[in-house]
A and B are shown apart, each in its own frame.
Chain A
Amino acid sequence: MDTTAVPGLVAVVLVSLVTLAIGTWGLRFSRTTSDFFVASRTVRPRLNASAIGGEYLSAASFLGIAGLLLVGGAEMLWYPVGWTAGYLVLLVLVAAPLRRSGAYTLPDFAEARLGSRTVRAACSLFVVGVGWLYLLPQFEGAGITLHAAIGAPEWVGPVVVGGVVLANVTSGGMRSITFVQAFQYWLKLTALLIPAAVLLAVWWGDGRPGSGLGDGEWSVPVAGHAGDGGLGLYTTYSLIIALFLGTMGLPHVVVRFYTNPDGRAARRTTVVVLGFLGLFYLLPPVYAGLGRVYGGQLVSSGRSDVLVLELPRVMLEGAGGDVLTGLVTAGAFAAFLSTSSGLAIAVAGVLTQDVTTRLVGERDGVTAFRVAAVVAVVIPLVVALLVRNVGVAQSVGLAFAVAASTFCPLLVLGIWWRGLTDVGALAGLGAGGLGAGGAAVVTLGGYSPGGWAGALLGQPAAWSVPLAVVVMVTVSLATAGRAPAHARRFLVRLHTPESLAS
């Protein structure tokens, strides 16, 4: 264990140090008058897109997908497809108007659009809920990684990542800066791309074994079997709905759009994000395919989650394998750190605005933020230590389902429909949130009946999203008199292109 732990340990320490270094010096570019105009240059779409990618590509993307594909086959491809296509929906329906609304967080948007503090409070509640649900798998993934890389007990990973994130966030939220997050994207891409290229070369050298790859159920992109009464089809469609519509409701993604100078830049950023994610998600299937050829013992011992970490050693002996292992470990660790800090900052921001500032007192903003950050990190950390082995991708899927059932109707109707009222929004948020959120809590609690009941609870999006939309529209129509007076003007502002407005 001693020698095999070295590459992982080196990688983890290096990633932490490099990230901290960039965080420190990236911000402290001292500019003198000679390059003045550099200073007021806003963040370019490509840099911002890298940052979004860095924050968005989580442990589930980096580790989870390859393992799921290895075990579940082509039906699991819907995860990467959905995580990418979510940005397409975001691009078409939400990106530019959301930026033009001037909102920084989702509760800000609700308040600006509906003029209601109550809806704002409800949104804050769901931001915290979605954030925690999404933090859980990050911590869990960290446990798996450190266990595989250096043989640490499974509780070490969550505690280490939680501690690092907390230290970084409370010391001033430095890690939210665009440079660091952009660096994380390229690190993750490199950490997955180079080993994949090397391993493919090895596979080629071995005479391309595994010609039976395309056989049987493994290559069918729908869950379940023929004759299960459409259960598999339901699960697949529900997953697609959750992932396609949930992206726009992720708190740490939405705040990044504020960095764009205007709606046009927000759209451009989203297009570039689509490209970056598409590129990244080509790689996990490569690992899964190679794992199917070389990693049989991982499946049989139930350790498919660590496929990406183990595959280099399985395929390559000696120093080569060690270096590649170090690289993928670094990428995985970067994935936990960036996504967790992004989420922790987003959740802590909302908690600061709506909760702790009132408790600590208005004047002391820093203390309020620190208290909020501790709450934001510690609660999901404790839950992650108590609730084990839900499956990284499974709990990410639930976070998406809750986001899709609450914020997607609010954003889409709020941006495209004048008739939305505060009562309607509240009712819709309640229906979708209780539906999907309840299902998530039950599933995380370990209750999973078979058959349809299990499918409806495990993948709630297919019923909870339409439910939320129908409730929101119906109640809004019933309370049409409460539609805010400024709705028409507000929508004109959201939809007026910058080229016309200035």
Chain B
Amino acid sequence: MRNAGRWRRGHLGSDADRAAFRALHQASLAAPALQQGLTAASAERAVKHLRNLLGTPAMAITDTESVLAWDGVGGHHLDQAAVVGLLTIERGSTRTVDRGQLGCTTNGCPVRSGIASPLIVEGRVLGTVQAFAPTTTAGLVRATEEVAQWVSGQLELAELDAHRNRMIEAEVRALRAQISPHFVYNSLNAIASFVRTDPDRARDLLLEFADFTRYSFRRHGEFTTLAEELRSIERYLLLEQARFGDRLQVTLNVAPEVLPVVVPFLCIQPLVENAVRHGLEGVEQAGHLTINAHDRGHEAVIEVEDNGVGEDPEKVRRALAGDASLDSVGLGNVDARLRATFGDDYGLVVETAPGAGTKVIVRVPKFAPGVTVDRA
């Protein structure tokens, strides 16, 4: 027995070590919830681990308005906790409340005094952490402050994550907005020119235009299928052809096997728009655009090629690196989103030289964990 005990102690370290392990473990249990941001649900999940960490009879988390979660005994102090939270936020630093301020008349209620410490992220107070105990000690005040700081750190991570997501969303929105003005104007003009001469075609084109905008301005969903994306590209090209006539020739060569592949929303269309622009700009002869999609076993390869003026490879490199001052804004954006979705191996490949046309190659894996079309 004694041997076993000694071995155990030797294995797991001294009492102090074990206390540290326990504290770290409780903290790690609370972390995932807090990294979702400060909400009633996340506070609810985190608060009991934080109370275990401090070992107090009761604990509360508030935001700037009200109590988000209360754990432990003495739920009748909820309203007081909200008030204490507001006072703490006003002051911006830790404060204690004593027996007189809490004024509890319930027999045996251990919530006699409390400590409230603010949660501060990037200089803003988001809420408070409050610990309640029969008496407050300097140690408990210090511990509560430390817990509040740690929680603030976790919330900061959540903020960063949200920032990143907002940025990606903003980029997609920018991409949607970027399509519209010129294209809308030109398309409507082209359609208008058919209204008298060929009303049926004008009607068809108008319907295509409606479907195209519906897809491009879609609000939800980060991903789509290659079939959907290509369908939208076809509509786009029909409209461009209505405008350019024979000057724009298109060859489409799509292996049906790759149509169900899931791709980031609007990841091919900007490339096609670029190709149409480059293929027709400053070129006397007809612009020829080729879109290929091949099956390569566990990958799909999509190529968008034009026979236009081409581009200086150095400029393309800078565009891919994110230099927004260049013409090909879409290129850097598509590249970044492909890398963010599938990893750095799946960036864009651009083959071009001045006067030699441009070929953009996209590789997409048929399956990547977490990449699915959300139909919600």
Do A and B assemble together?
yes
Residues on A close to B: CB < 8 A?
Answer: 27-33, 36-37, 39-43, 102-105, 108, 111-112, 115, 172-173, 176-178, 258-262, 345, 348-349, 352-353, 362-363, 365, 369, 493, 498, 501-502
Q: How far is the CA of A262 from the CA of B257 in the complex (A)?
A: 13
> Are A176 and B295 also in contact (CB < 8 A) when A111-B369, A261-B260 are?
yes
Whether A42 contacts B260 by the Cβ 8 Å rule is yes
Whether B238 contacts A36 by the Cβ 8 Å rule is yes
- Which residues does chain A contribute within 8 Å of B367, judged by CB atoms? 102-105, 108, 112
Partner of A102, one of B262, B294, B295, B345: B262
CB contacts between A and B, total, < 8 Å? 103
Whether A39 contacts B230 by the Cβ 8 Å rule is yes
- Which residues does chain B contribute within 8 Å of A349, judged by CB atoms? 297-298
Whether A104 contacts B255 by the Cβ 8 Å rule is no
Q: How far is the CA of A104 from the CA of B300 in the complex (A)?
A: 12
Partner of B372, one of A36, A493, A502: A493
Q: How far is the CA of A112 from the CA of B368 in the complex (A)?
A: 8
Taking CB atoms and an 8 Å cut-off, the chain B residues in 114-172 that contact chain A are none
Whether B238 contacts A261 by the Cβ 8 Å rule is no
CB of B28 to closest CB in A, whole Å: 15
Taking CB atoms and an 8 Å cut-off, the chain B residues in 213-243 that contact chain A are 225, 227, 230-231, 234, 237-238, 241
Partner of A32, one of B252, B254, B298: B252
Known: A261-B260, A501-B375. 8 other contacts (CB 8 A): A30-B251, A37-B231, A39-B234, A40-B234, A40-B254, A41-B256, A42-B260, A105-B298
Q: Interface range on chain B: under 10, 10 to 19, 20 to 34, or 35 or more?
A: 20 to 34
> Are A177 and B257 also in contact (CB < 8 A) when A39-B230, A40-B227, A108-B367 are?
yes
Q: How far is the CA of A115 from the CA of B238 in the complex (A)?
A: 43
- Which residues does chain A contribute within 8 Å of B76, judged by CB atoms? none
CB of B70 to closest CB in A, whole Å: 26
CB of B343 to closest CB in A, whole Å: 9
CB of B346 to closest CB in A, whole Å: 10
Task: For B262, give the chain A residue with the smallest CB separation.
Answer: A102
CB of A184 to closest CB in B, whole Å: 16
- Which residues does chain A contribute within 8 Å of B249, judged by CB atoms? 32
Chain B interface, >50% SS class: mixed
Does B101 lie at the interface of the complex (its beta carbon under 8 Å from any beta carbon of A)? no
Q: How far is the CA of A268 from the CA of B126 in the complex (A)?
A: 54
Partner of A36, one of B227, B237, B299: B237
Ordered by A's residue number, 7 sampled pairs between the chains whose C-beta atoms are within 8 Å are: A30-B251, A33-B238, A40-B227, A42-B259, A102-B372, A103-B367, A177-B257
Task: For A41, give the chain B residue with the smallest CB separation.
Answer: B256
Whether A33 contacts B237 by the Cβ 8 Å rule is yes
Task: For B344, give the chain A residue with the smallest CB separation.
Answer: A362
Whether A112 contacts B369 by the Cβ 8 Å rule is yes
Partner of B296, one of A172, A178, A363: A172
What are the 3 A-B residue pairs with the smallest beta carbon separation, nearest first? A104-B366, A501-B375, A108-B367
CB of A172 to closest CB in B, whole Å: 7
Partner of A176, one of B257, B299, B369: B257
Does B363 lie at the interface of the complex (its beta carbon under 8 Å from any beta carbon of A)? yes
- Which residues does chain B contribute within 8 Å of A177, judged by CB atoms? 255, 257, 295
Whether B251 contacts A352 by the Cβ 8 Å rule is no
Task: For B235, give the chain A residue with the smallest CB separation.
Answer: A36
- Which residues does chain B contribute within 8 Å of A39, judged by CB atoms? 230, 234, 252-254
Q: How far is the CA of A498 from the CA of B373 in the complex (A)?
A: 12
Partner of A27, one of B241, B255, B299, B363: B255
> Which of A30, A40, A111, A352 counts the most chain B CB atoms within 10 A?
A40
- Which residues does chain B contribute within 8 Å of A493, judged by CB atoms? 372
CB of A99 to closest CB in B, whole Å: 9
Whether A40 contacts B297 by the Cβ 8 Å rule is no
Task: For B301, give the chain A residue with the smallest CB separation.
Answer: A365
Whether B372 contacts A42 by the Cβ 8 Å rule is no
Whether B372 contacts A369 by the Cβ 8 Å rule is no
CB of A415 to closest CB in B, whole Å: 16
Partner of A173, one of B253, B262, B296: B296
Taking CB atoms and an 8 Å cut-off, the chain B residues in 290-337 that contact chain A are 294-299
Whether B241 contacts A33 by the Cβ 8 Å rule is yes
Task: For A169, give the chain B residue with the smallest CB separation.
Answer: B297
CB of B263 to closest CB in A, whole Å: 12
Taking CB atoms and an 8 Å cut-off, the chain B residues in 335-376 that contact chain A are 345, 363, 366-367, 369, 371-372, 375
Q: How far is the CA of A111 from the CA of B251 in the complex (A)?
A: 38
Q: How far is the CA of A130 from the CA of B69 in the complex (A)?
A: 54
Q: How far is the CA of A353 from the CA of B365 in the complex (A)?
A: 10
Whether B253 contacts A115 by the Cβ 8 Å rule is no
- Which residues does chain B contribute within 8 Å of A259, judged by CB atoms? 256-257, 260
- Which residues does chain B contribute within 8 Å of A111, judged by CB atoms? 369
Partner of B297, one of A29, A32, A115, A348: A348
- Which residues does chain A contribute within 8 Å of B295, judged by CB atoms? 173, 176-177
Task: For A103, give the chain B residue with the smallest CB separation.
Answer: B367
Whether A43 contacts B366 by the Cβ 8 Å rule is no
Task: For B289, give the chain A residue with the smallest CB separation.
Answer: A33
CB of A454 to closest CB in B, whole Å: 40
> Are A32 and B234 also in contact (CB < 8 A) when A102-B262, A102-B367, A102-B371 are?
no
CB of A425 to closest CB in B, whole Å: 16
Q: How far is the CA of A394 from the CA of B249 in the complex (A)?
A: 56
Partner of B260, one of A27, A28, A258: A258
CB of A43 to closest CB in B, whole Å: 5
Q: How far is the CA of A33 from the CA of B237 in the complex (A)?
A: 8
Whether A173 contacts B297 by the Cβ 8 Å rule is yes
Whether A261 contacts B259 by the Cβ 8 Å rule is yes
Q: How far is the CA of A42 from the CA of B234 in the complex (A)?
A: 15
